[in-house]
């Protein structure tokens, strides 16, 4: 699976990119039909601690699944977005099984 990671207005370090890549790759265990993914890392202009934003878009046949999470660290926001995508993938898989 091809994963594109974009950081907006800052340079992400290799450790963070490796962490995100590993987490997104694990999603293929839940559903085989994942074609690719796009991850955007952003810093919000808010004054509070939860100013890190992670957006993940998974490309699957016929649909795109999307999750956007805010947190005080990119790692925590990534974990939350991955959990949301796991739920979406299981729901999509159940729906596609009922069709056949």
Write the DSSP string, 30-81: T-TTEEEEEEEEEE---SSS--EEEEEEEEETTEEEEEEEEESSHHHHHHHH
- Give the residue extent of every domain in the chain: 2-99
Distance CA 50, CA 69 (A): 10
CATH class, 2-99 region: alpha beta
According to DSSP, residue 45 is labeled -
Contact yes or no for 67/84 (Cβ under 8 A)? yes
| Structure confidence at residue 74 as a pLDDT band (50, 70, 90) | very high
Predicted TM-score of the model (pTM): 0.90
- At 15-58, the pLDDT tens digits run 999 999 999 999 988 888 899 999 999 998 876 777 899 999 99
φ, ψ of residue 61 to 5 degrees: the values are -60, 120
- At 43-52, the pLDDT tens digits run 988 767 778 9
């Amino acid at each position: 699976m091809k994963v594109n990671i974009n950081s907006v207005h800052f340079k992400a370090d290799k450790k963070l990119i490796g962490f995100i890549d590993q987490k997104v790759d694990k999603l293929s265990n839940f559903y085989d039909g994942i074609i690719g993914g796009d991850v955007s890392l952003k810093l919000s202009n808010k004054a509070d601690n939860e100013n890190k934003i992670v957006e993940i878009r998974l490309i699957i046949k016929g649909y795109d699944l999307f999750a956007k999470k805010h947190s005080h660290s990119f790692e925590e926001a990534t974990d939350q977005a991955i959990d949301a995508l796991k739920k979406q993938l299981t729901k999509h898989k159940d729906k596609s099984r009922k069709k056949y």
